[in-house]
Structure 1
Amino acid sequence: MYQLIAFDMDGTLLGSDKQISPGNRRAIAAAARAGKTVILNTGRCLSELEEYLGLIPEVRYLNCASGALVYDLKEKRTLYSSLLSVETVKQLLELAAMEQAMPHILLEQCIVQKSHCKQMERFGMGVYQDQFNRVTVKWEDIGRMYGEKPFPAAKVNIYHTSPQSRDRTEERIRASGLEVAMARAETTSLELSAPGCDKGVGLEKLCACLNLPMEQTIVVGDADNDLEALKKAGLAVAMANAGEAIKAVADVVVADCDHDGCAEAVERYLLRP
């Protein structure tokens, strides 16, 4: 019997409108009433999640920033973290600048450059424009200002103007020998985390804190950054809108993010007798 279900956010729990549907909210509430644990298993950082948490008060634990930060909302404390060094963040900002790409630094807050935030569509991230306007900290010059006040980061996302531009950044990272975990997301996004850091590791750390075997977990996702968590789950669930690589490792496929696929996962697999 499964005891925990972990939902990715974008393309999974969130519909194309970036909202949590009433059906998915009802399913989360039903899972909680049945004594199950529902967590968010996301690349977003804490500040990017706050506007949703009031809609799903049953969620206590977050595996956020793609596994770099595991957080207990009730006790307001970090259970586990794996951060990028200051020197690594500086190098990633330099690589982003080479492609005139948009870097995004995540810890508990998320930081972007003001000029980039005004042209999200150019970086393949137009659907997030309103959200970034609301929740990000905007610096005039992200490279200079980070250099003046550096800090270890949970993750750095780099949003490119094309898939080819992303390919070049990946090649430069490999050629430089920079030790980071890389995952593709969206159409032009590259997510960079500390070596060995991914959603699967974060989920393992949380389950260890909860004394819960991984065999009793369900992971639901749609994108490459969900891959390691799906591989480690007791049941791997792909959304109908997931990429083929995700469907290939999934045990089952549910409806897409606009048709309550997450509610289907709860009802068919988490709450089954």
Structure 2
Amino acid sequence: MDGTLLNSERKITKRTQETIKKVIDRGVYFVPATGRAVNALPEELKAIEGIRYGIFSNGATVYDLQKQEVIYRNHFDPKRALELIRCLRPFDLMISISQGGQSFGERIPMEHLDYYELDENTREIVRGSRKIVENVEDHIIETKNTIEKMTLIFRTMEERARVWEWLKRFDDIQYSSSLPKNLEISKRGCNKGSGLMHLAKILGIKRENIMAFGDADNDREMFEQAGFAVAMENGLEEMKEMADYVTDTNREDGVAKAMERFILGKDVT
């Protein structure tokens, strides 16, 4: 959603909201697919009747928003999550986790976000999406719940590159990025694409009838699975090269314009 459905103010414009309602009225499933946990779903989307399902935490959780229940999950067990977090502690980074539909960040690094020299947009996303705990390991031990994903924030791109290479030693994980200076770690085989195809199977929808929007590295597998991939003009060059179509930026109602053109059959300006 960030960089795609949401504009630079992290809002969904009135035009996009109205277009979503129109495609739903056409019998189309509109499914948010995001690295966010379900609790961070924007209020504008919650208010739209007909948005029944969502894919969260990069495909770790597929959620029935109407029944408020998980219909598919691909999570880390607590023991494995703890092992990975403890291995990552020597690096210069901030660790947060997504668990039970909520993201959790540690108090001390969250109070010192300036240390990580994040751009304003990333800083606001981090602040607005995490509940504070003292220590994520202690939280995992106390709750004993499975972990949807782990998110790492780095001070420097050099440290991010170092950890990216270091993580290659583990064959049971995969990782991607959705924001500058971050890495998101999931179980091997867990991504937006796998979550999308599990939901498609449940709903009886063929791959060729799926349109996917994206801008970032964590959209890659979803683009590979969808019948028609739409990249944002503000997205990574690699994503635009993968796409079947490149729409306008997230600041210019790019998602709405593509849906108007390809679903509603309108001339778009």
Output the TM-score relative to the length of structure 2: 0.91
Maintained 8 Å contact 2:122/2:179 = no
- Bigger mean CA offset, 202-211 vs 78-87: 78-87
Match of 1:164 among 158, 162, 176: 158
Unaligned 5+ runs, structure 1: 1-8
Q: Map Cα deviations across residues 100-135 of structure 1 (whole Å, 9 max, x no partner).
A: 311110121111101222233443364254555455
Residue 14 of structure 2 corresponds to 22
Residue 143 of structure 1 corresponds to 137
Residue 191 of structure 1 corresponds to 184
Q: Give the distance between the partners of 1:121 and 1:12, measured in 2 at CA.
A: 26
Q: 1:120 to 1:214 in 2, by over 3 A?
A: farther
Maintained 8 Å contact 1:69/1:80 = yes
Q: 1:77 to 1:149 in 2, by over 3 A?
A: closer
Deviation at 1:55, TM superposition (A): 3.8
Matched, 1:33 2:7: no
Q: Give the distance between the partners of 1:20 and 1:127, measured in 2 at CA.
A: 15
Q: What residue identity is the alignment partner of 1:261? A: G
Deviation at 1:259, TM superposition (A): 0.3
Deviation at 1:88, TM superposition (A): 2.5
Match of 2:79 among 76, 87, 93: 87
Maintained 8 Å contact 2:230/2:244 = yes
Match of 2:219 among 193, 218, 226: 226
- Percentage of pairs with the same residue: 28
The root-mean-square deviation of aligned C-alpha atoms, in Å, is 1.9
Deviation at 1:56, TM superposition (A): 3.0
Q: 1:126 to 1:139 in 2, by over 3 A?
A: farther
Unaligned 5+ runs, structure 2: none
- Bigger mean CA offset, 149-158 vs 224-233: 149-158
Q: What residue identity is the alignment partner of 1:226? A: D
Deviation at 1:33, TM superposition (A): 1.5
Count of paired positions: 264
Matched, 1:61 2:56: no
Deviation at 1:171, TM superposition (A): 2.1
Q: What is the correspondence of 1:108-257 to structure 2 with a 5 Å cutoff? A: 108-123=101-116, 124=118, 126-130=120-124, 132-175=126-169, 177=170, 179-257=172-250
Q: 1:154 to 1:195 in 2, by over 3 A?
A: same
Q: Give the distance between the partners of 1:120 and 1:57, measured in 2 at CA.
A: 36
Q: Give the distance between the partners of 1:217 and 1:121, measured in 2 at CA.
A: 40
- Bigger mean CA offset, 262-271 vs 123-132: 123-132
Q: Map Cα deviations across residues 168-205 of structure 1 (whole Å, 9 max, x no partner).
A: 11222223x35201112211110111111111100000
Q: 1:120 to 1:59 in 2, by over 3 A?
A: farther
Q: Give the distance between the partners of 1:270 and 1:95, measured in 2 at CA.
A: 47
> Secondary structure of the residue that 2:51 maps to in structure 1?
coil
Deviation at 1:233, TM superposition (A): 0.7
Q: Give the distance between the partners of 1:173 and 1:17, measured in 2 at CA.
A: 33
Higher relative contact order (CA 8 A, sep 6+): 1
Q: Map Cα deviations across residues 24-75 of structure 1 (whole Å, 9 max, x no partner).
A: 1111011112121101011111111153433433311101110110011111
> Secondary structure of the residue that 1:111 maps to in structure 2?
strand
Deviation at 1:91, TM superposition (A): 2.9
Maintained 8 Å contact 1:67/1:202 = yes
Q: Give the distance between the partners of 2:32 and 2:114, measured in 1 at CA.
A: 26
